[in-house]
Structure 1
Amino acid sequence: MKPRIAAAVGLVALACLQAAQARDGGLTQRLVIRLAEPSVAAAAAGPQRERARIDALAALGARTSLRLQRVRESADDWMVVKLPDAVSIDAARALARRIADDPGVADAEPDLRVFAQQASDPYLVSQWALAAPPAGSPGGIDARGAWAMSTGAGAIVAVIDTGLTAHPDLDGAWLPGFDFVGPDPDGSFGTANDGDGRDADASDPGDWCGEAGVITPSTWHGTAVAGLVAARAGNGYGIAGVAPAARILPVRAIGRCGGYMSDVIDAMRWAAGLAVAGVPTNPYPARILNLSLGSSPGPACSAYQQRAVDEVVAAGALVVAAAGNEATGI
C-alpha cells in the first residue's frame, strides 16, 4: 500500500495572494505603472506606440524627479519599471502614490516580491489523509471516495511556482511549461539561477537563498506541490496525489530568494491561455491555477492583481491560492 497524504489547499479564489512574512526586509526595486496615455500613444501601434510609451515614461520621470527605467510591458498596458535602488515596501508604496498623483498616470503600485509557501510542520505527512472522516482524520477530504467518480483524467492544473524537477511519481504528468523568471534589475540572472531569462524550459534549478549570512537550501517547492496535486497512484512508489490522473502544467515564476509579482501575473495569464507580450501562446490552457505562494506584506488584493484574477476567471480558469500561512488571517 502506498503512503498517502493530502494537501490543505488554500482558498478557492476570486482573491489574491495574501500577505506572508516579509523577506529581503520587504525590499523591491520595481514598480508597475499604468499610464493614462494621450490619444496619440493610445492610437499608435507597434514601434510607434512603444516609442510613445518610452517617451511618456521619461517625461513622467522628469516631472516626478525620479529615475524610472522601463523593464518590460506587462498585461493590460501595465509597465514594469525599475528604480535606481531597492527600497522598502513602504517606501515603494509612497513612491507609487507619488507617481499615481501625476495626471499622466492611471495607477501605480510596487512590484511585490513573492515567495513559495513552505509548510513547516515536520509531521505534516501524518496529519492529513485522503480518507473520509472519521476513518482517516477529522480533516480528511475523502479523495478515495471521489476517485470512484473521477481521478482527474483530462484536467490540466497549472502549478505556478519554482518549476519542475524529474520525479518518478510524476512520470507522465508533466506538460510543456514555461519559465517566466527574467533578469534582475541589474541585468544579472541571480534570481533566475539558470543563466538566462524567459524561455520554454520550466526546469527548477533550485531556489536556495543566501541572505544576511544565512543560507537556506532549495525547496523544490513546485515539484512538491505538483506531487500533492497529481502524483501517480498505483505505481508502488511514493504518494498518491489528490487527482492522480490529472496533467500538470509547470509554470516557473519563483527563483532564488523568491520572485516578482509581475512575473506571477504574466504566468497566470499565460497558464489560462491568455496572450502575454513576447511569449508564445500556451497550447495547453489550464482550468485550475494553483498558487501556493505568499507575498511581501500589503493589501489583500491590489488593482494589478485583481485585474489578472478577473481575466483568468473570465477565461474559464479557477484560481486556488495559499491562505493562512504565517498565522495570518484568511
Structure 2
Amino acid sequence: MKRGWLLLAMLCAVYFGAAVQAQAQPPSQVLVMLRAAAPHLRAADGYALGYTAAPDETARLRIARELAHQYGLQLVDNWPMPALALDCFVMRMAPGMSADQITQALSHDTRVESAQPRQAFHTLSKDPDPLYSLQPTAAQWHLAELHALSTGRNIAIAEVDSGVDNVNPDLAGQITEQRNFVDDGAYRAELHGTEVAGIIVAREGNGVGIVGVAPQAHLLALRACWQLSQDSAAAACDSFTLAKALQYALEKHAQIINLSLTGPDDRLLRRLLDVAIASRVTVVGAVDDTAADGGFPASYPGVVAAAGEHAAVTRNGVLLAPGEDIPTTQPGARWNLVNGSSFAAAEVSGLVALVRELSPDITLTQLHDVLHARTALGLASMRPMTIDACAAVAQVSHRCTCDCAVAHASVEVPRR
C-alpha cells in the first residue's frame, strides 16, 4: 500500500508498502535532545498540555529557543522523553539547509545531548488479491485449542499505528485506551490501524466477523501514523510521532509493543527500544522484504521480527506467519482481506500475548526459544521459519495442545 510523509515538504513522497520501496524527500525538520533530570521530568496527565510547569522545563525551552535562533531554525514542537531523561524539540530548517550539516553542528554544541533528522516511516502491507486462497490464522494456528489454555487475558499490548476504530462490532469494548500523537487534529479511525487491531484482539464468540489471536488482551491504540487518503490504508509516521508513542507505551507499562511499520535506522527510536527491551517488553516488528536487513525496527537486536510466510526473506531468526488474504476488521461494520508483513507481525504479537499470559516472567531468551520451538527441538535452523503456535503454547503450558508431539520439548520456562 502507498505510504507518505506528514510534513508539507514531503506530501509528494509516496510509499508502496512491501511491494515498492519509494525514495523519501530530504527531511525538513530536525529533532534536538536536551538533557533533563529524570526525577523532575514527567509528561502532564493525558499529555493534553505536553509538560508540567517546572523551572527546569522553562530553562530547557529557553535554551531550545536560543539554539533555534543561533542556527537559523524555527522551533515548532516539543515533547518529554522521561525514559531517556531528555526533552525532544522539533525544529524546522530553512529552505536549502542540509539536515546532516545542521545535526552535526548541533551535536557539537555543549548544550545539546544529541540531534538527528526527523525521518519518515511507513506501514507494511499489500493490496489484497482475491485470487489467493484464504489462509486464516484460526485454522493454521488452531486458535480454538489455544484459547482453551490462553486468550492473552490482562496482557497490555501497545499498537503503534494509525487510528483504530472502536465501533466495529469486533472491536467494541476491546480497546483499553486511544491516544493521538499526530499533530493533525483529533484521534480518528483509520484503515491500517483498525486492520492490525482486529487481528490482535477481535472479539471471540460474538457471532460476527473474526476472532483475534489474543481476544482478551488490553489494547492501547496509539496513533503515531496517519492515513493518506480515504480510499487507501496507506499510512505514514516519523521519528517524532513514533518516539512520543513509544514513550507513552513505556509509561503505561505495556508488555508488548506492535510495530507494523518500517523506515530508516533511527537513533532516538533505537534508544527507546533499548529501554523497552531492558524492561522486558516484547517488541514485535514487521519485516520489510525489500530491504536486505529486513528494515528498521525489525532488524534491531532484541526485536522479534515477523514476515508473511511467502515473503522473500533470508535473514536469520525471522518468524514467518500467515501474511496473505488475512480477514480482519475495518472502520464501521466492515471486514476485508489484507496482505503483508504488517499483519504477520500483528499475529505474532497476539501469540506473544498468549505465551505471556501463561508465563508472565518469561525472559527474552526464553521467549525466543519458545517462538522458535522447532529450533529448540532440533527440527529447524535459525533461518526464517514458519512459526508453530501450537508448539509455542505447549512449551509454556506444559500441556498437550493441538500438536501433542511438542509437549515433551526441553525448553524450560517459568509457569504461572
TM range (shorter): 0.5 to 0.7
Q: d(CA) in 2 for partners of 1:72 and 1:126?
A: 47
- The equivalent position to 1:311 in structure 2, one of 260, 271, 275, is 275
Output the amino acid matched with 2:277.
V
Task: Give the secondary-structure state (helix, strand or coil) at the position aligned to 1:170.
Answer: coil
1:81 aligns with 2:90: yes
Q: Secondary structure at the match of 1:234?
A: coil
Q: Kindly indicate whether structure 1 or structure 2 has the higher relative contact order, using CA contacts under 8 Å at least 6 residues apart.
A: 1
Selected match of 1:292 from 254, 260, 263:
260
Q: Which residue of 2 aligns with 1:149?
A: 149
In 1, are the aligned partners of 2:124 and 2:288 still within 8 Å (CA)?
A: no
* Coordinate RMSD, CA, aligned: 3.3
Over 3 Å counting, the alpha-carbon distance change for 1:126 and 1:170 in structure 2 is: farther
Does the C-alpha gap of structure 1 residues 86 and 121 become closer, same or farther in structure 2, counting only changes over 3 Å?
Answer: farther
Q: Structure 1 residue 262: deviation in Å?
A: 1.5
Check whether the contact 1:160–1:264 (CA below 8 A) recurs between aligned residues. yes
Gaps in structure 1 of 5+ consecutive residues: 1-17, 183-191, 197-201, 207-219, 275-281
Contact 1:152 1:246 in 2 (8 A): yes
The equivalent of 2:222 in structure 1 is 251
Give the secondary-structure state (helix, strand or coil) at the position aligned to 2:205.
coil
Aligned length: 252
Q: Distance in 2 between matches of 1:125 and 1:171?
A: 30
Does the 8 Å contact 1:117/1:325 carry over to 2? no
Residue 97 of structure 1 deviates from its aligned partner by: 2.0
Which blocks of at least 5 consecutive residues in structure 2 are unaligned?
A: 1-17, 42-51, 229-235, 295-416
TM-score by length of structure 1 reads: 0.65
2:249 to 263, 267, 271: 271
Note closer, same or farther for the CA distance 1:112–1:122 as it changes in structure 2 (3 Å cut): same
Q: What is the TM-score of this pair, normalised by structure 2?
A: 0.53
Secondary structure class of the residue paired with 2:275: helix
CA drift of 1:124 comes to 9.2
1:305 aligned partner, one-letter code: L
- Give how far 1:328 is off: 4.6
SS in 1 for 2:177: coil
- Secondary structure at the counterpart of residue 169 of structure 1: coil
Structure 1 residue 233 corresponds to structure 2 residue 204: yes
Q: SS state of the match for residue 136, structure 2?
A: coil
Q: Deviations over 1:127-149 (max 9, x none)?
A: 63326xxxx6xxx4444442231
Q: 1:327 to 1:305 in 2, by over 3 A?
A: closer
- Contact 1:288–1:319 (Cα < 8 Å) also in 2: yes
- Change in 2 beyond 3 A, CA 1:122/1:77: same
Amino acid at match of 2:92: L
Shift of 1:167: 0.7
- Secondary structure in 1 matching 2:159: strand
Q: How does 1:1-330 map to 2 (within 5 A)?
A: 21-22=21-22, 25-35=24-34, 47-61=54-68, 63=70, 65-75=71-81, 76-85=85-94, 91-123=98-130, 126=133, 128-130=135-137, 140-165=140-165, 166-182=167-183, 192=184, 194=185, 196=186, 202-204=187-189, 206=190, 220-257=191-228, 258-272=236-250, 274=251, 282=252, 285-295=253-263, 298-299=264-265, 302-326=266-290, 328-330=292-294
Identity %: 26
